[in-house]
Chains A and B, each alone.
Chain A
Amino acid sequence: MSSSSKKEHEREDDSEEEEEFEHFDDYTLASSWEKFISEIEAVCRQWLASGPKNLLEKGAVPLEGAKNLYKVKSELKYAMKNYCMDYYFEISNAGKAVDWSSTLHDLQLSFGVKEFMVIAPQSANGVILDSPEASKLLSAVAIAFSNCSSLWPAFVPVHDPSRKAYIGIQNMGTVFTRRFEGDLIASQVPVKLMHLEGLYELFVSKFTFSLSDLSTHFFRVHFTMKLTYKTLPYDDDSEVSNFEYEINESGSDNGIDKRNKLQWDVDCPWSEWYTAEDPLKAFELIAMWEEKIIQSSMEMAELENVSINEAHKWFIVPEFSAYLMGNYVGNMVGFASQLALLIDALAMSLDVKFMEDFVSVETSGSDKLKLSVPPPTVLERVLKDLCHAGPEIISPESRHKSSRIIKGAPLETLFAQFCLHSLWFGDCNIRAIAVLWIEFIREVRWYWEESQPLPRMQSNGTIDLSTCLVNQKLQMLAICLEKKRQLLDSHQDGVGNISSDSPSVEVSGAINEDLSPTSRAKEGFIKESDSPSTSNAKLKYANNKNDNKRRGSAGVVESMMLLNSHSYMHAPFTQNPPIMTEDMHEERLRAVEVLGESFSFSGQLEKDILSSDMSAFKAANPEAAFEDFIRWHSPKDWEDDSSSSLSSRKKWPPSGRLSERMSDSGNSWRKIWDDAPPIPASEQKPLMDPNREGEKILHYLETVRPHQLLEQMVCTAFQASADTLNQTNFGGLKNMSTKIDQLYLTMASALRPLQANKLPGDTEIIEDLKRLCIVFEHVEKLITLAASLHRKFLNAPRLSQNIFNNFYNFYLPKMGKPSVGEEDTNKELMKKKEEIRVNERDVVTSMFVQPSANQSWRKVLSMGNLLNGHEPILREIVFSLRDRVDSSYHAPRSQWSHEQEIETHRMYICGTSNDLRVALSITSCD
């Protein structure tokens, strides 16, 4: 472009120009074009002098998408037009110029360069240059570059920007110059160029002069290839999928919100309540071939039929559904969205007295009328589901360890199921909830009045005080119901003679919940290990003596003789201690605190139990003394003289004495003993009246304050939703498990204010709960993704793990930040490749199911390199021809031997079934 003499000349000028610019009228700057060149040169010198590190400090910006690539820019003016000059550089540019596996700038990939410069006119709608203008611009840059001996390749865009056409030039040192040219055929690609053979010939034609050469001459053409395949979207509708294909290809996808008809999640735990859109829309498979040398077009044609398994490296790129991206927060229907609605309902419940107030016409204001309630048929179905479906009991081990911290109810119980149903009943507004609750309680009362066991509730259980009050009440109601049924049964059977029912402890315990032998835990006291025959024989012996007097015996206490008569001690059936819900317990506590703290105080209730036990013991052992009772009930208070071996204890009379504390005069135990009449437990006044307690519970349920109910519903609904999601099988992804752990802890502390009953009027709590919903939604999305990945990569857990972790690391910083999710960051994620190991290839190929006839008929396969009937969505090829060239053309003879292989021709081809882009770089000697 420029002669070396001119260059020298300008060099000298240059130094002067900087110092004395204002005094001289440099003749080289005479024309505006020359002035333009010198401006380019000045900028270029400045960049050259700074070096990448300093440029970075001066504010070079990193490029989105391409790793390690930075850009500085400068603006110039020429002939009334503004130009923009961009210099792209890498910080650590080790390695080859073109490496498929890293993310590259388009120009780097096309022309095999590392750092480069682009100069383009500035205009609002991109670049439009015709060819003469482009060449003129390029020659300006070339002159400037050779003036400052810059070796950067420079590019100028040509034509319409959508063509991505460039021309470029690079000064390669003393003798060589590289010229670049790239263009695109956007439609109707010649058939020949759809195939590898044709593309090969295209490349060869660039350095041979006639095609006849081709057959006679073999060239050593280097060749690498990269194929990208894409699975059909996870959707069974071919119409939609084809439509989507086209959109994807034109590069403007995103945001098509279509319904997923396949229901991929049909066996996921949440599918009972809703169907989630599959978070994974499709996968791209990228296969890369190692460089090989091709010598003929025949060889090339064969490559088109080669299995993709020959490829040297495989990568997978997931395509995530749009709803996973940040800006869709709040739009996904799931537990989180319904929980938010429930919180709205809670906010509306604060000032209302009864649940009925939301339903009745008079009190419902105009705004409440707008709240729709599902039709009676739906109500009926929900209640049926709730009450008649069999209880599936979830083992405590499968529950999350932190679930207990939240005061709710176990997932399988009636109230938890009620809460989950109300989330999805209508749109979970307060009116719908009120209707459902009232009907639900009506149903519960029916069970009570008909003495039918409550569904989904264990009647033999104790009350779990760590659950919410409504659940405790229902637990207690179930227990009361069971007792009520037993009372009814015993009435029907006439006299329920318990002692004659069965001598076996276990059986009688099961038959008679209420009256169980107390000492079950005291091993060795009740004989259990003896063979039935001997135990029966002993029992008969004992029974014979006191048959008519003894009542309420649960069996002989092994190895214990009564003090005053030569007979075995019998353990009595005793009443179970009364059960209490936490509010009852609190009431007692308050009473105690009011009564003061005299030491002599003992809960009246426990005194009743002791007295009842003593009565039952007296009935079972008519000849027993107080000491006998103590030996059975509080064994440590009996000081045995003999050693405690069984044989000696069978000796009669037993020797020993009461402990000092029991033998004190005025001991209250003895007082109670003296007052206790001998009555078997079955005939005693019950410690707890199941009828009365049951009615009290129903009264509570029927009159519960709306906000108290809603508070408990919110806690339980959060817990039950989390417990449901927690059952998802996602292959134990560590990040996911940690996130779930965190969710539970977060829920526990955010829900704590509700448990403390501090709510009325506190709007801050409501705000906090709304935030909790957002956290919940994030975790819910992640679980959906984890589940989807897990089932798709069952046999390649490493891949699902890595893909999940990539997404997780991308998603995590956005969790919480409002409205992030620009397209750029999304694209960055989209491009994140995950290498597939050889043993994982089968899993991935099996995802490419043969397209059905319906799916494939529209698409004419035109490219070859098929994978299970899928043609690549993108085929990228690099051809290159290398030549040994003497690099020191002008050097003295001594260096003749120094030869260097340089790339004389390089062609990058990037094609889909619709278009083809070709970029060529040719190195030549000037």
Chain B
Amino acid sequence: MATNGHNNLNAKLVLLGDMGAGKSSLVLRFVKGQFLEFQESTIGAAFFSQTLAVNDATVKFEIWDTAGQERYHSLAPMYYRGAAAAIIVYDITSADSFTRAKKWVQELQKQGNPNMVMALAGNKADLEEKRKVTADEARVYADENGLFFMETSAKTAANVNDIFHEIAKRLPRAQPTQNPAGMVLVDRPAEGARAASCSYGFQNLGTLYSV
């Protein structure tokens, strides 16, 4: 969950996707600026962190990079639990990986934090000649499901920083603003006089709810 300091935000981010889609490569490119042609397959999950400056605030990403093998699927909820953002990665040269990505989106929509910022990354965009998934197809899907979409390439670094930046920008700043219309919590009649004194802590709630 994104937690708020003064101008600092800590945000847990999780990468999900089919095996070999390039999740680890994306993270490594973003965190270390490196790219390995043959990135070793992740066992279980790996952890990274990276801080970004967005406007006048800084966002510290705590990144959980997960393994794509089916075997580790049942562990995924622990990683996306409480995550403020998720990047679902597929490989543009593999239609299977795009199908798998859609399944992840479904699972997050059902199980994940409802305010989670979700990004869809079509990785390996440098392999244009082997493309199996068109950008349009993915964009339409992303629009329908409220994700934002970018084609990335860990190899050429295209759009890698951009996708993390965009996530950082979309992270909810103040927690309460996420709340959709609720109801005004109001004082007990007897406590009318006290309402003023304790209104500070309640300000957020009070002003944001409309009946």
Contacts and interface: CB of A to CB of B under 8 A. Distances in A.
Interface of A: 329-330, 405, 462, 465-466, 518-519, 521-522, 574, 576-577, 580, 582, 585, 589, 592-593, 597, 599, 601-603, 605-607, 609-610, 613, 633-634, 636-637, 659-662, 664, 667-669, 672, 739, 742-743, 745-746, 748-750, 752, 764-765, 767-768, 770-772, 774-775, 812, 815-819
A585 B78 contact: yes
B176 A749 contact: yes
Given A602-B42, A818-B189, A636 B19 contact: yes
B183 A746 contact: yes
Given A610-B43, A750-B205, A818-B186, A745 B75 contact: no
Contacts of A633: 69, 71
Contacts of A812: 211
A602 B46 contact: yes
A605 B44 contact: yes
Interface stretch (B32-40, B117-125, B134-142, B159-167): B32-40
Contact of A775 (B37, B75, B185): B185
Contact of A774 (B39, B48, B186): B186
Contacts of A634: 19, 41, 69
Interface in B146-198: 175-176, 179-189, 192, 194, 198
Contacts of A518: 70-71
Nearest to B63: A597
B97 to A, nearest CB: 9
B45 A606 contact: yes
A749 B189 contact: no
B38 A664 contact: yes
Contacts of A764: 198, 200-202
A606 B182 CA distance: 42
Contacts of A772: 185
B20 A749 contact: no
Contacts of A606: 43-45, 67, 72, 75
Nearest to A772: B185
B73 interface: yes
A660 B189 contact: no
B40, B70, B185 interface centre (most CB from chain A within 10 Å): B185
B68 to A, nearest CB: 8
B41 A669 contact: yes
19 contacts: A329-B188, A576-B74, A582-B81, A593-B49, A603-B46, A605-B44, A606-B44, A634-B41, A634-B69, A662-B41, A668-B43, A742-B181, A745-B182, A749-B179, A768-B202, A772-B185, A774-B187, A774-B188, A775-B183
Contacts of A462: 74, 77
Given A599-B46, A775-B184, A818-B189, 5 more contacts: A465-B81, A518-B71, A589-B47, A764-B202, A774-B186
A743 B49 contact: no
Q: Which of B71, B184, B192, B202 counts the most A-chain CB atoms under 10 A from its CB? A: B71
Contact of A405 (B48, B62, B114, B211): B114
Given A465-B77, A610-B44, A634-B19, A815 B202 contact: no
B145 interface: no
A478 B123 CA distance: 42
Contacts of B106: none
B41 A749 contact: no
Contacts of A816: 183-184, 186, 211
Interface of B: 18-20, 28, 32, 37-49, 62, 67, 69-75, 77-78, 81-82, 111, 114, 175-176, 179-189, 192, 194, 198, 200-202, 205, 209, 211
A647 B28 CA distance: 40
B44 A637 contact: no
A667 B78 contact: no
Nearest to A762: B201
Given A746-B182, A770-B188, A602 B43 contact: yes
Contact of A818 (B41, B44, B188): B188
A177 B88 CA distance: 89
A521 B211 contact: no
Contacts of A602: 42-46
A750 B181 CA distance: 13
Contacts of A465: 77-78, 81-82
B81 A637 contact: no
A12 B20 CA distance: 107
B14 to A, nearest CB: 12
A815 B209 CA distance: 14
B28 A599 contact: yes
Contacts of A817: 186
